[in-house]
Amino acid sequence: MARVACIGECMIELRPAPGGLFSRGFGGDTLNTAVYLARLGIETDYITALGDDTLSDEMIAGWQAEGVGTAKVARLKSKLPGIYMIETDARGERKFFHWRESAAARQLMDLPDTENILQSLADYDVVYLSAITLSILGEAGRSRLIAALGQARAKGARIAFDTNFRARGWPDLDVARTVFHDAFEAANIVLASTEDLLPLYPGENEERLMARILSGEVVMKLGEPASIVRVDGLAQAVKAEPVARPVVDTTAAGDSFAAAYLAARLGGADPVQAARAGHHLAGVVVCYPGAIIPREAMPARATK
Tens-digit pLDDT profile for residues 4-37: 999 999 999 888 888 989 888 888 999 999 999 9
pLDDT, averaged across the chain? 94
Question: For the sheet containing 11-17, what is the strand order?
Answer: 21-27, 11-17, 83-88, 94-99
The alpha-helical segments, DSSP class H, found in 102-248 are 114-120, 131-135, 139-154, 173-186, 194-197, 206-211
Q: Cα torsion at 28, 30, 32, 35 (round to 10°)?
A: -140
d(C-alpha 294, C-alpha 282), whole Å: 14
Query: Domain coordinates of the chain in residue numbers?
Result: 3-9+29-79+104-297
Parallel, antiparallel, or unpaired for β 158-162 and 11-17? unpaired
User: What CATH number is given for 3-9+29-79+104-297 in this structure?
Assistant: 3.40.1190.20
Residue-wise pLDDT for 108-166, tens only, equals 999 999 999 999 999 999 999 999 999 999 999 999 999 999 999 999 999 999 999 99
Parallel, antiparallel, or unpaired for β 158-162 and 189-193? parallel
| Residues annotated as catalytic (active site), given as ranges | 255
Indicate the pTM of the whole model: 0.94
In sequence order, the 6+-apart residues with CB closer than 8 A to the CB of 268 are: none
